[in-house]
Amino acid sequence: MSVLFTIFWIAVAVVAAMALGWLFRWAAVAASRGEARRALKTAPLAASFGMLVILIYVVVALFAPLIAPYAEREVVGAQFLPWDATHPLGTDNLGRDMLSRLVYGARNTVGIAFATTALAFFAGSFLGLLAAAVGGWLDQVLSRLVDILMAIPALIFSLLLLTIFGTSIVTLVLVIATIDATRVFRLARSVAQNIVVMDYIEAARLRGEGLIRLIFREILPNALAPLVAEFGLRFCFVFLAISALSFLGVGIQPPTADWGSMVRENATLITFGDVTPLLPAGAIALLTVAVNFVVDWQLHRASGLKE
């Protein structure tokens, strides 16, 4: 019976997600115009649901102080209070409201992950396009340096650097961005190498266009589709990396609300059958799945394949 009960609720969740995705697509198509409208009309329900989830996370992150019933660091009761009308998700190991911490965690975890991904993506993309456009010794030096960094396991390398340089948010962002930029570099360089041999690139060189103009006006627009899809994938990996480091105690430091550290701080409740520590883990998993739905759709569009 328990297996059938689980299957039933999974089926209900899938149907509800499809219905929400359909409603969001209908509303988005009605509110959009031009190329965006045509793209949204062909979006699968999974991608529509993913965009809805991402939108909800963005709204929660931006308006966390208005949504959360208590302050991020406010102690409002005893430790590990059960769920009730006053504290819908109970309290944590210090007596702080779990719902408020979960809401503020969206701002901190997602915001820091987005900033880290943007930094890694800009640095990796620019260096990758530069290496492909210039070639020669610059390409060899950058590629070998990236090979060395990629040979070291990312999590171990992150732990080592954070142990050496400290665990401030700035250090966390710089360390993870540096490590993740190597992956972006490899993709950008690979895509750009297929572009720089085209005739229109040679024509641009003969016109006397400078290197920076050549990269941003000729190469980047033609490499944008796979890079945009890669941005979504990189965000997922960075998001999970920050959560993992916070769970290990070297990521976002207390008392800042963070989903990874929230799982660690309240893990003892799992022993007593309380699912509260699984809520921040579920928030991490849901956003990761949602972003992947949208990325898969964008990759399909970029490939030029038809349904």
Mean pLDDT for the stretch of residues 200-205: 81
Tell me, yes or no, whether 299 and 191 share the same domain.
yes
Tell me, yes or no, whether 25 and 142 share the same domain.
no
* Rounded Cα distance, 272 and 40, in Å: 45
Structural domain boundaries, residue 296: 105-303
In a domain, 87, yes or no: no
Tell me, yes or no, whether 138 and 282 share the same domain.
yes
DSSP designation for 197: T
Mean pLDDT for the stretch of residues 88-109: 88
Tell me, yes or no, whether 30 and 140 share the same domain.
no
Tell me, yes or no, whether 197 and 276 share the same domain.
yes
**Cβ atoms 102, 283 nearer than 8 A:** yes
Which of 212, 206, 192, 182 lies closest to 132, judged by CA? 192
Which of 118, 102, 104 lies closest to 238, judged by CA? 118
In a domain, 77, yes or no: no
Q: Is 249 left (phi over 0), alpha (psi -120 to 50) or beta?
A: left
In a domain, 74, yes or no: no
Type of residue numbered 293: F
pLDDT at 5: 66
Give the pLDDT confidence of 214-244 residue by residue, as tens digits: 888 888 888 887 888 888 888 888 888 888 8
* Rounded Cα distance, 293 and 54, in Å: 11
* Rounded Cα distance, 66 and 151, in Å: 45
Give the pLDDT confidence of 133-187 residue by residue, as tens digits: 888 888 899 999 999 888 888 888 888 888 888 888 889 999 999 999 999 999 9
Separation of CA 252 from chain center: 16
In a domain, 112, yes or no: yes
Contacts of 163 (CB under 8 A, 6+ apart): 250
DSSP string, 118-155: HHHHHHHHHHHHHHHHH-HHHHHHHHHHHHHHHHS-HH
Tell me, yes or no, whether 123 and 255 share the same domain.
yes
pLDDT at 304: 55
pLDDT at 104: 92
Q: pLDDT above 90 covers what percent of the chain? A: 17
CATH number of 186's domain: 1.10.3720.10
Alpha-helical regions (H) of the chain: 2-31, 34-41, 45-62, 64-67, 98-105, 111-134, 136-151, 154-165, 169-195, 199-206, 211-213, 220-248, 259-265, 278-303
DSSP designation for 85: S
Q: What angle do CA 92, 95, 99 make, to 5 degrees?
A: 55
Number of compact structural domains in the chain? 2
In a domain, 49, yes or no: no
Residue 263 has pLDDT above 60, yes or no: yes
SS3 state of residue 249: coil
In a domain, 81, yes or no: no
Which of 58, 56, 63 lies closest to 17, judged by CA? 56
Tell me, yes or no, whether 260 and 145 share the same domain.
yes
Per-residue confidence at 119, pLDDT binned at 50, 70, 90? Answer: very high
Q: Which token pair is 217?
A: 């006006």
CB atoms within 10 A of CB 210: 9
Q: 13 exposed, middle or buried (CB, 10 Å; 0-12, 13-18, 19+)?
A: exposed
Q: Which residue has the higher pLDDT, 270 or 131?
A: 131
